[in-house]
Amino acid sequence: MKNALFATVVGGLLFTSCTVDDNPPIEIDNIDVPETYAFERNDNSSVNFEGQTTRLVMVGELLSSFNDFDNATEASLSNMYSNVNDPFSSEELNSSSKSIKSKVAASQLYFTGNTEESHALKNDFESFITGQVNEVFPNKNEVATPGVAGQIADGSSVRYVNGKGLEYNQAFAKGLIGALVADQILNNYLSVEVLDAGDNVEKNDAGLTEEGKSYTTMEHKWDEAYGYLYGHPTVPVANPNAALGDNADQLLLKYMGRVEADPDFAGIAEETFEAFKLGRAAIVAGKYNVRDQQVEIIRENISEIIGIRAVYYLQAGKRALEAKKMGTAFHSLSEGYGFIYSLRFTHNPATNAPYLSTSEIDAMLEILMDGDGFWDVTPEILDALSATIAAPFNYTVAQAAE
């Protein structure tokens, strides 16, 4: 077969037989890219990401309960995390088969065959809940001091921290941006292993939809990636950037809005959206190499958002420390802690691995929590961590800082 093939190539047929797969600029001309993320088959929308919307709403309700000292219990929060025992206010959420926890650190690419680490990471979020209820709740009327959980003033706001100055709700929320959202988008739904699983390619080529649905499996996987970023019910499905900075998403989209607002990174929101849109259109057109190029853009941009925000909060924490505003500093550092945690789930297209190694990330988290935690962290330490984070990315600490 190989000899015959080589003869074909030498015979000069290569341009007719083979260029199609290797000449993206020509293909893009053949892809019908809509203005907005609106795709149809037989006059029905073929876009669906209900499961993602459900989880984003669950996260919202869980986070709003995190500081509900009067009503929340370890069990109620943990039940929400796993969606067991009807924990949510809405019957629709309770009866859905989805849960947050089952999709934490659960991507095909990073965690298949790596269940032990997956479980350890899933349980980190349980431990944030445990800490909140067992350390912070009993001390809600104490003033926090080194080694003592309690409340601390951040300007006119009150923050509730553990003995090391960490706000568990921030660690939980910002950690989920990586462990749930980025991991599912970058390392699960946009991975070739998921997009091209089984006979997805053949069926997509043939336009064979899932039973009773208007989408092919591959289209649906792509939409599920899209849904983790843009799927909050307060975000317009087809044109999400219209509501950037004006929606109730608390995870990745919120911080894409923040990064977009920094002139150093303006354009990242549009570039990411366009990549999602073109990639989806490329699936419809069966142009998989164009699709995969968009995956690289999305992987790079979303990873960068996490990295930028990690540095941003460390630097904001540093400025507040220097101004002796401890509460403000701890709030920023708690957010930074969550974003550093999320780096574990980034995806560098050049290496197909996280931008920073697990050991580097763990070491940084350990440094922040060492001794009395944020109480004895120094500006020098925060600068060093910022530099470590920025190093593998295409931005400087200064660009990310403000």
Partner 1 sequence: MKNHKLFTLIFFISILISCNSDDSKKSTDKDSFDRGALLENWADNIIIPSFENFASYTTDLEEKTEAFVQEPSEANLASLRASYEEAYIQYQTVAMFGMGRAETINYRMFLNTYPVDEAAVKGKIESGSYNLELFTSYDEQGFPALDLLLNGLAEEDAGIVEFYTSHADASEYRNYLQAVSTRINGLTQEVLADWQNSFRDEFVSNTASSNTGSVDRFTNDYVMYYEKNLRSGKIGIPAGAFTGNPVPQNVEAKYSEGLSKDLYLKALETVQNFFNGKHFGKSETGPSYKQYLDHLNSVKNSADLSSLINGQFDVIKQQATNLNADFVEQIQTNNSVMLQAFDELQKNVVLMKVDMLQALSISVDYVDTDGD
Question: Which residues make up the interface to partner 1 (CB under 8 A)?
Answer: 1-2, 5, 8-9, 14, 17-19, 21-22, 24, 49-52, 82, 84, 97-99, 101-102, 104, 106, 112-116, 118-119, 122-123, 197-199, 202, 217, 224, 293, 296-297
Q: How far is the CB of 168 from partner 1 (least distance, A)?
A: 18
Q: How far is the CB of 350 from partner 1 (least distance, A)?
A: 11
Instruction: Answer yes or no: are the C-beta atoms of 333 and 314 closer than 8 Å.
Output: yes
| Alpha-helical runs (H) found in 43-184 | 50-65, 74-82, 91-95, 108-111, 115-131, 168-176
**Assigned token pair, 150:** 């309690």
Q: How far is the CB of 224 from partner 1 (least distance, A)?
A: 6
- Measured from the CB atom, is 19 or 90 closer to partner 1? 19
- Measured from the CB atom, is 232 or 318 closer to partner 1? 232
For the stretch 312-317, contacts whose Cβ atoms lie closer than 8 Å and that sit 24 or more positions apart, written own/partner, are 312/258, 312/336, 312/400, 312/401, 312/402, 313/339, 314/382, 314/385, 314/386, 314/389, 315/382, 315/386, 315/397, 315/400, 315/401, 315/402, 316/401, 317/374, 317/377, 317/382
- Measured from the CB atom, is 199 or 270 closer to partner 1? 199
* Count of residues making up the chain: 402
Q: Is 353 helix (H, G, I), strand (E, B) or coil?
A: strand
Q: How far is the CB of 55 from partner 1 (least distance, A)?
A: 9
- Measured from the CB atom, is 121 or 326 closer to partner 1? 121
Dist CA 111 CA 155 (whole Å): 41
User: Cβ of 288: how many Cβ atoms within 10 Å?
Assistant: 20
Instruction: Answer yes or no: are the C-beta atoms of 170 and 102 closer than 8 Å.
Output: no
Q: How far is the CB of 112 from partner 1 (least distance, A)?
A: 6
**Assigned token pair, 320:** 């507040």
Question: Residue 311's closest CA among 370, 255, 372?
Answer: 255
Q: How far is the CB of 345 from partner 1 (least distance, A)?
A: 16
Q: How far is the CB of 2 from partner 1 (least distance, A)?
A: 7
Which residues, in sequence order, are bridge partners of residue 153?
158
Dist CA 314 CA 343 (whole Å): 14
Region for residue 337 given its phi and psi (left: phi exceeds 0; alpha: psi -120 to 50; beta: otherwise): alpha
- Measured from the CB atom, is 65 or 217 closer to partner 1? 217
- Measured from the CB atom, is 200 or 315 closer to partner 1? 200
Which residues, in sequence order, are bridge partners of residue 158?
153
Q: How far is the CB of 296 from partner 1 (least distance, A)?
A: 6
Helical axes 326-342 vs 358-369, angle rounded to 10°: 160
- Measured from the CB atom, is 54 or 346 closer to partner 1? 54
Q: How far is the CB of 25 from partner 1 (least distance, A)?
A: 8
- Measured from the CB atom, is 222 or 330 closer to partner 1? 222
Dist CA 360 CA 340 (whole Å): 10
**Assigned token pair, 237:** 């499905």
- Measured from the CB atom, is 293 or 303 closer to partner 1? 293
**Assigned token pair, 100:** 């947050």
Q: How far is the CB of 262 from partner 1 (least distance, A)?
A: 22
- Measured from the CB atom, is 162 or 217 closer to partner 1? 217
